Structure 1
Amino acid sequence: MYQQIHHTLEELQQMTNPLEMFYYKGNIELLQSQKVSVVGTRHPNQYTKNFTFQLSNKLAQANTTVVSGGAMGVDAIAHKASKPYTIMISPCGINHRYPKINKKLIEELEHTALVMSQFEPNYEATPYSFVQRNEVVVALGECLVVTQCDLKSGSMRSVEFALKMQKPIYVLPHQIGQSEGTNYLLKEGLAQAIYDIDAFVQTYSSKESFLQTSSSFLNYCKSTPLYEEALKEFKKELFEAELNGEIQIINGRVQLL
């Protein structure tokens, strides 16, 4: 069953029209973690497949959440490699699992990670909803990684959003004649090449496991602490737990539900 979140996320203030409401399934607390957006072609070559998997997997091991759009190819690889540290932004309503070829993956993400949509639950994808989805994917990440793309592609539209939001853009270096989109970005000085995955991951790694921190917060709440004390120690976790209906505030104290 989906849930709603009515809150203007700080990251989404960079959008042309900031969103104030989402539908979601899964672990909403991932929104408070450090995030990197990873996108690319639906038809990656083997070199790109290997790189995307390694990069996404190592980001997850470093407790950094990978944000992508759930599409075939690079998106799906990024999600699979980074579970449970991954967020999928859907181009349609939360009641649809699109594309159908990724249905099992999306179902898994709903239970182990996070799937989000700004559209009404039964809304079907349209050409423009993909563009809107791409903008959210870019906005949530601290930077944008494009592992392979053509010059005229949805990934290049994501690059446009990243440039407008002044996000750092990274690409995988490809041979001449391959991935013309990313090679163009390098040629024009609009992106940096990732030559060392470990060095890149170290730059965007989270110092602590957000999922472990969240678990620690719930354990902390078992002692029914004062609300003001909990607010000082776990401000973000307190906010998300209230949204999720996991806690209640009674007589100035935090209680688990």
Structure 2
Amino acid sequence: MPKPVPLPLPAAVPAGIEAWRLAWDADEQPDLASLTADEQARAARYLRPPDALPFALTRIALRARLAHVLGMEPLAVPLCVDARGKPAVNRPGAPAFSVSHVAGQAVIVLSAIGAVGVDIETGQPETVWRETAAVFLTPDEQRRCESLPLSRRAAAYAVRWSLKEAALKAAGIGIGDRLADLELYPDGEGWRMRPVRPWPFRLQDMRAVTLSLPPGLTGALAWFDPDSPGRTGLGE
């Protein structure tokens, strides 16, 4: 079974947030006995066995990390889904968490200071990003990306997608068509966001950073300022 390794985070990330990276081969065999009956059933519902592998391995690793923090057996960790469909631990004082997986890699984040969101993406050609840019970028953001040299555009698109998706996951909001409703701007070593339309949470209290991942991957982490009333999220 693959083991998660600590993922160093940028200095802008506050104490109380930790991350791990998990990598696996396509022929990896998950220990299904490390999943609950409901989780095993969920894995079995995938139409293709390779599609079940990321869920199973990431959930096993998540349970192990939470168990270490909570001082209990992994299968005893009371995972649940809140009213907004956001996974959580059904125990007072338990850390918030977020996970993301793609292409044989996953990132698991635990937070002792409130809601958190993580996203990782594989690289896409510049043309693919440009065709969908209006879905996730404001008009000003589109112009900035298009003004870059062609060799830098795909990375710029990917970073903005990942930052925004991580932010919505932290807030417990589904992606839907809301990505283009928030605009990113640099803030020190990280990013902040401002709304271009009304939002249901204090966007000004959200911060985000990009993650250092293996070549071919782009990732981002988002959280609320520790003293923000939105740090519990609205609802990996």
TM over 0.5: no
- Place the TM-score, normalised by the shorter chain, in its bin: under 0.3
Question: Rg bigger for which structure?
Answer: 1
Relative to its length, the structure with more helix (as a share) is: 1
Q: Calculate the TM-score normalised by the size of structure 2.
A: 0.26
Q: Which has the higher strand share?
A: 2
